[in-house]
Every structure is written in C-alpha cells, then in structure tokens.
Structure 1
Amino acid sequence: MPSKNAGADYRELSDKYGDLVYLDVLGQPILLLGTHEAAIDLLDKRSALYSDRVHSPMVDLGGFDWVLTMIHYGPWWRRHRRAFHQFFNPNAIAQLRPLQRSQVNHFLHRLLDTPEHFTEHIRHLFAATIMRIAYGIEVAERNDEYVAMAEEGLAAFSSLLVPGKYLVELLPAMRFLPKWFPGARFKRDAAEARIIVHRLRDTPWARTLAAMREGTANPSMTTVLMERNSASEDAEAKEEEVVARNTVAVAYGAGADTTLSSIQALFLVLASFPEAQKKAQAELDAVVGPHRLPDFADQDSLPYVCAVIKECLRWRAIVPLGIPHRLIEDDEYRGYFIPKGTLVISNIWAYSRDESRFPDPEASTPERFLKDGKLNPDIVDPAEFAFGYGRRVCPGRHFAEASLFLIVSSVLHTLAVSAPLDESGTPMRLEGKMTAGVIS
C-alpha cells in the first residue's frame, strides 16, 4: 500500500480497473472509490452503513482513540458530535465573527511588519482564534507553547495514521511485539505520538479548569460545557466531562492545522498565478472600496474572490485520501457485493483532478467556477469533497469556510502576494510540494 503520492497511485488503479477497485490486503477488504459520484452514492446516500471507522492498532497505540474523527460510529460518537455541533453550526458561528475580525486584523498587521514569517503568522492566527474559542486563553505573540502543541499534535496525527504505512494495521498481533524488536518501529513512533497528543488534550484543559476555580476564566467552549455539567456529580456527569474535554481539544487541534494548510496553499496560488490575484483585487476595489476591509456581508457580492477560494480547495487537496470509512454490514452496489468490515477510501486527490469536471486541472483557474460573472451552480463545489462525506463530514466546515473567506478577501484587499526574486530580479518559479500524510 503506497504512503507517498498515494492519490496518484490509486488513480492509476482506477484508470485501469474503474472507479470501484476492490483489494484484499492480508485479509482486510479495501474499496477504493475513484469518482466523486461513487463517494456520494456510498458515503452520503448510504451513510448509515458507511460511517464507521476501521479499528486501527495505531489509533489506540498512538493515543488518538478520543479524537472525534477516529471514534467508532455509535452513541459515544454521537455525544461528541452533538457537543461539537452546538458551537459550530451555522447559527452559532455568527457569534464568533467579532473574534474572527479582530484576529484577522491582527494577522494583517503581523504580515505587514514581517512578511517573511508568513507561515508563523498563519499558525498564530488560527491558534489564537481557536484557543480563545475553545479555552478562553490568549496566546503569546511569539513562541507560544499552545501553538507548538497544536503543530506537534497534528503532525503526529497526519504522519502516524496514513493508511498502509505500518504493517501492524494489517497484522494486529504485531502490537504485542516489544519496542526493541526488529520491525517494531511503529511502537516507538506511537509512544512518542501518545505523549504529544495527550499533552495537547490535557494541558490547556487543566489550565482553564484552574481558571474557572479561581473565577478568572474567559468565556469559552470549556466554560459553557463545564458550567452546564457542574450541577451533577454522577457517572453520567463524569462521562460528559470526558466528552467536553475531548470535544474542545478536537476544535483546538484540528482547527489549527487543516485551515492553515488551505491558507498556505492560497498564498502559493496567488504568488503563482498573479492574473487571478489582480482580478480578485479589482473586484474588491469595486465592491468594498478603499476605506474599509471586506466583511462577511460582502461575500455574495464577491463571486471572483469566492471562486479563488474554491480553486484553492481544489488545486491543493488538504486531506488527499480523506479518513477511511468502514462498512458496518454487507452491502451491494452496482451489482457488486461489498462485505462487512470493508475499508472504504475516497480518493479526494483524484476527484480534484477529474478532467471531465476540471479541465487542465494542474492550472489554477478560478474562472472555471464562474458563468456570466456569477458562481456557476452546475460546477461541483470542491467543498463537497474537501470536507468529507456523509455523517463524517467535517463538523467545523461552516467555521472553516467563513474563516477562509475573511482571510482571503482581507489579504487580497490589503496586500500583494508575489514569488521571491532570483539574483537577476526575475520572479522564481514556485513548486508546491504536498507533504505525505493524512493532512497534506
């Protein structure tokens, strides 16, 4: 099973055998979905059957069993999903807009002061925003421990859980090997990851609980969930505290990395395709004018800016293979039998490069999403596959999309993004190499 450039490798299989490729790897059935249509048919329309996660020894060994993305489908997952949804549904995120505005404004000032540190500024922006929402904690301007925790935790998640990377996923008995045994590198990697992700989950949580006891805590997801749970000390209340701790940590960890990757890809798009940048800036000048920054209310009047965001989501798929789904009972599709326990992989990288939908897919062309100056509803929105499928769709999607719009429009309206110059003063050619991992 490939772990590097797997999206391209899997697409070759789909090109050769069709959009349903069934594999049996040491007794583990695997179904590769090569088209967006197949993913919709199974993962969306039959989500009651296809919403489980595979039982991976690396999830347990690495300490990721509390992460919403990896929890098995069922009552425990629903409790976590419900807790998360109350803060990030479309109505709830409207209350977060003042915080988003202030953090984006601060981000712009940091970019103007030290543009060469733009990656650091992007990380700070998302960590600062999510830490306020999740824990009510203000992060430091430089070298903040919570920014570092989020970065380390998501790096561990992305690296450790790549499908097929470790043989123990297919031979679970290997989990009982001692760490020093040849071939047991996975145990050492998992032990390191476990320390990192538990620190990410527990450290800010403990700080906020201490602040609540002292009466100094700022309003946050943590304070809301714990105050609601404070009236009872029974077993269910203890479980709800665990749900709250896990849910808040997922918001902190995931929110600080996936949207970060999208914004990094955006800077690459803008620097590589200056004509698209100029068109977006002209639209902003006409709609917003020179005396203020763009706001959420401007979104419907900025179709080209929205098209730039869609093209960014398509051009660089952040989660190239999604998170594999697991079938909970036997199924049949197009006359093919699919056995219970099948691991289902959606090749999002391939969907983003479907030439029947997106001609010349390696070019960044926002115009592909427009018709007569408006967004074309007949073109598939990359958000349909970028944020996952069915009941496992990213629960923070609405917040992420709102963040992307405000950041992209604000950067375009205030700054010019260009490639660095070589010794002769010519803009250098940029190559965006995606990292190998669950999150690229």
Structure 2
Amino acid sequence: MSSVWLITLLLTVVFLIIKRSRRALRLPLPPGPRRLPILGNVLDVPTKDMPAAFRALNAKYGDVVYLDVLGQPMIVLGSHQVATDLLEKRSANYSDRSASPMVEIAGFSWALTLQGYGTRWRRHRRAMHQFFNANAVLEYAPSQRLETHRFVRQLLDKPEGFLHHIRHYFGSSIMRISYGIAVDEEPTDYIQIAEDTLAIFSSVFVPGKFLVETIPILRFVPAWMPGAQFKRNGREWTKIVYRLVELPWKRAMDAMKDGIGTVPPSMASGLMENIVSGGLSAEQQAEEEEVARNATAVAYSGGADTTLSTVQTFFLAMASYPDVQKKAQAELESVVGPGRLPEFSDQDALPYINAVVKELLRWRSVVPTGVPHRSMEDDEYRGYLIPKGSIVIANIWAYSRDPEVYPDPETFKPERWLKDGRLNPDVRDSETTAFGYGRRICPGRYFAKSSLFMVVSTILHTLSITAPVDENGRTIPLSGKMTQGLLSYPEPFECVIKPRSSAAEALIRATAVES
C-alpha cells in the first residue's frame, strides 16, 4: 500500500513540475532561492517566524519572490505597492483562495475567508455586506456604547481579569448584533466556542503547514495510516467548529419560532425574515438559509476574536508608553470634559485618539501574512510570469514596518499620523494593509474601527493603565511578543488598571446599565 502511494506522489510531483516548466518557457519566473530537484523550495518555506523570514527573502531577491513547493508555485510580495498592483488593481485575477483540502478536513467550508472566488462566495459576501456596510454599522452605535460601558465596569470590578473581560466584551457585543442573544443570560458558553474555533483556524491555515495542501491527493489517505494525523485531528476539529455554526443559529431560530415579535433585531433574524418573505421554493429557501447561517457565523467568529487582538495590543501599548496615554487623556479632558463619556460624535474632534487607533492597527498585525490569495490565470508582472494557481502572500507585518514609510517602526508613536494637530493624509493609512486587499478586504472593517474608537476613548477617559512593578517598586518591562499563527495575539502579560478618579468611576457605574 505504502509503495503505491509513494509512486502516485512522485508521479504527481513530476507532472506538476513539467506543467510549470512549459509555462516558464514564455516568461522568466520571478527570482528566488535555488530550487532542488523534485523538492523545489520546500526547505526554504519558513516553519516559524514566517513574516520575518519572508521579509528576509524579499530583501535578498526583490519585491516579487518565487518559491516552488513540490510543484506548487508560491509568490511572496515584498511591498505594499506590489500588493496593491496585483491584489487591488488586478483583483479579478487575484481574489481566489487556494482549494486547500484542509478547509473540508477541519470543517471550515462555511468560512467566507476561505471560500473560492465565485458565485457562492458572492452570495455569502452580499449577506455580510447587508449588515456590516458603513451605513449599517451606524445603527449599532447604541449597542457598542452600552457593551463598552459594561466592559469598563468589569475592568473596575476585577482589573486583574482584563484579558477575559476583553474576550467577553467582543463576544457579547457581536452576539447581540449577529444573533440577538444576550450571552450573560445563556447557559451555553458561546464566547468559548468562538475562541476554540478561531484557535483551530489560526493553527491550521498557516501556508505550507500541511503537505496535503500542496499534494491534494493525500486527502484520500486513510486516517489510520502513519503520517495521517491531520485526518485524525480533522475529525475532532470539525466537531468543535460546527458548534459555532449550528448552536447560536439554532438558538436564534428557536426564538423566532417562539414569537418573532419578541425577538431582538439581529443579522440572523433579518436574513431569515427576508428569506421567508421572498417567495422562494422550499429548495431555494434551504439554500438561502445555509448562506445566512454561514454568513452569520462568519460575522460572529470574526467580531468575537480578531479585533480582540488589537484591544489586547492597546493595553500593552498604554502600559509600555505612558507618555502616549497622558497625551490621549489630555485631549479627552479638553474635548469631552469630566462630566460625560466619549460619544461617536466626538470622533472628528479627537485626532490624537484616532492616531492611537491607526497606530494600534500598524504596530501589531493581527493577520501578519494575510490570508493567501490565489491567481486564477497566468499573469505577467514586471516582466515575470506569475503562474496560474500561484499562492500569493502579502506580508502585512513587513509592510507595517517599512522604515521609509514609518520611521522607527518598532516604537508605538501615534504622532507619526499627525501634522499641525490634524491627521496627516500624506502618511499611508494603516487601514490599507490591516484589513487586507482588493475584493478580499475584511467585510467587518467598519464595525471593527468603530469598536476600537469607542473602547480606546472610553477606557483612556476613565482608567489608568500602567506596567506592573517588582517588590522594589521598579517597573517590569513588558516583552510585547506576539503568538505565531495565521492570527496573532500578544503573549499573556500583566498590567495595573485603576480608575483615574472617583468621579470617573462613578460616571462608568452610572452609565453601564441598559436602559
């Protein structure tokens, strides 16, 4: 049995190499490390600290680097300009995703981020856009404000649990909007379900981690065979992942059946009302309900976990850069004053707070190498061939550290975004990289940005965040290290959180009650 699989594997690799070689006769491939027979550049694909390793490859070979991973072409883009040229300006060719067998094996076929570019993806994207476009997000302002005030109250009551409170804040906020569910009133831990799912997502979908992504025929290997641990893990992953897709949706649908007039408005109820009133056949209704269920799960999982990383980074930055915190608080005192909390209507009058948010998005990348794109047809760029089916990687982490654009990039410096007391439009906006490129740009970016503004402004107006001290009263420096994976988070750290004044504490406790 094993010899048959080995022969099949070798024939597949040889076929792919011959296919690529014929294509390469027309145009040269981009530069890259020397390729070995059969293996290609499989040994050059980094297995740890991937963003820095890719940046080193680009520094050595140029802005467009070619890697051949057992016949699978991989293109590493070394600058924001190149990523814009291909993923934005030629998005019709670069909006696909690699058809990784791990999507099915790990149970993520519902995830918009991983779906191939086509009709199915457009239907899911349309459902997301309906509830998370710039105008739709304005309607969520009261809910975001309420959840933020509750979040800050939790920080007052138990500041040592700030990491848990951050998770609860985002899970609670997006659960209300996605499903109309108040998580504090539910026996099911929906927030933990989302966290478990995103942990699997981050671990599984690192480019090149599983050989089956390069040689798809390996997906047929029986789970009991040596080397098929990915199949055995997949069975357990799928059980966890589908709890996120099925459980909150069922809860929302049950609530609608019990009495639609009493169900809080949500993405789930809105989509289902449209389906029921759309005059569709039973088969069409079933198809549309699947799209609605999947899209709502995407909204919940993304909102519950990805922006969480940036808020963790906010606490890390404020504890590490006290002067930044003081400047932000001075602006809030001047504009908002001591008698109330920040509102969304204050945003235009708070340029330093806006600069802090932009710097948070730049300083620590949540998706350091992005979710890889895939070229749908052969393409020519700068005289080089980019073969059809290439995995295309945008190194967002490296772009955010370009010293020519962002001098002293490792320092948290909101001032880089300002000129004469206003946001400087000449500085490349961190949003242009942080949320991805082209037609694959994050559909929840407007919700994420408004959440960040409300959290940052409210916390800085009411609380003080400092680094811990040792027994001698000396500040303990925070490492600022990030976890590795497709999604990246600050490694666990401690900080000291206190109310800025008794008046600020009273203000939060008075407003953290739902009307």
TM-score w.r.t. the length of structure 1 is 0.98
Q: Shift of the alpha carbon at 1:4?
A: 2.1
- 1:252-292 per-position Cα deviation (integer Å, ceiling 9, x unaligned): 11111111000001110110111111101111111111111
Letter in structure 2 aligned against 1:211: A
Check the 8 A contact 1:280/1:412 in 2, yes or no.
Answer: yes
Question: Does 1:146 pair with 2:190?
Answer: yes
**Higher RCO (C-alpha 8 Å, min separation 6):** 1
- Which residue of 275, 282, 300 maps to 2:323? 275
Q: Where do residues 179-194 of structure 1 align in structure 2 (5 Å cutoff)? A: 179-194=223-238
How far 1:142 moved relative to its partner?
10
- Give 1:142-181 correspondences, 5 Å limit: 145-181=189-225
SS of aligned partner of 2:442:
coil
Q: How does 1:247-258 map to 2 (within 5 A)?
A: 247-258=295-306
1:423 aligns with 2:471: yes
> 209-218 or 73-82, which moves further after superposition?
209-218
SS in 2 for 1:332: strand
Tell me the CA shift for residue 223 of structure 1. Answer: 0.8
1:122 to 166, 173, 176: 166
C-alpha deviation, 1:143, in angstroms:
8.6
Distance in 2, Cα, partners of 1:3 & 1:407: 35
Match in the other structure for 1:219: 265
Distance verdict in 2 for CA 1:15–1:81, change over 3 Å: same
- 1:7 is the counterpart of 2:7: no
Distance 2:233 2:378 in 1: 34
Pair 141,368 (structure 1): closer, same or farther in 2 beyond 3 Å: farther
- Asked if the contact 1:3/1:163 (under 8 Å) is kept, the reply is no
Bigger Rg, structure 1 or 2:
2
Would the aligned equivalents of 1:3 and 1:436 in 2 still touch at CA under 8 Å? no
| C-alpha separation in 1, matches of 2:430 and 2:281 | 45
Q: Structure 1 residue aligned with 2:376, among 311, 314, 328?
A: 328
Q: 1:312 deviation in Å?
A: 1.0
1:78 aligns to what?
Answer: 122
The number of residue pairs the alignment matches comes to 440
Distance 1:141 1:15 in 2: 53
> Which residue pairs with 2:180 in the alignment?
136
1:87 aligned to 118, 131, 138, which one?
131
TM-score by length of 2: 0.84
- Structure 1 CA distance, aligned partners of 2:422 and 2:185? 40
Question: What's 2:27 paired with?
Answer: none
Give distance in 2, aligned partners of 1:259 and 1:328: 30
Using the alignment, how far apart are the partners of 2:235 and 2:118 within structure 1? 27
Q: Residue 294 of structure 1 is aligned with which of 313, 319, 342?
A: 342
Distance in 2 (alpha carbons) for counterparts of 1:354 and 1:341: 29
Q: Which of the numbers 391, 404, 414 marks the counterpart of 1:356? A: 404
- The one-letter code sitting in structure 2 at the alignment partner of 1:88 is F
Distance 1:208 1:166, change over 3 A: same
- Residue pair 1:2, 1:165 contacting (<8 A) in 2 also: no
Task: Extract unaligned runs of 5+ from structure 1.
Answer: none
- The DSSP-based 3-state class of the residue aligned with 1:359 is coil
Could you tell me whether the CA contact under 8 Å between 1:160 and 1:190 is conserved in 2?
no
**Which residues of structure 2 form unaligned runs of 5+?**
1-44, 489-515
* Aligned match for 1:435, one of 480, 483, 486: 483
Separation (CA, whole Å) in 2 of partners of 1:84 and 1:321 = 23
Runs (4+) off by over 4 Å? 141-144
Q: Percent same amino acid at aligned positions?
A: 59
CA drift at 1:188: 2.3
Deviations 1:301-358 (A, max 9, x none): 1111111111111110000000000011111111111111111000001001101111
Q: 1:102 aligns with which of 133, 146, 166?
A: 146
User: Alignment RMSD, CA only?
Assistant: 1.2
> Who is 1:49 aligned against?
93
Distance in 1 of aligned mates of 2:247 and 2:173: 17
Give 1:184 shift. Answer: 1.6
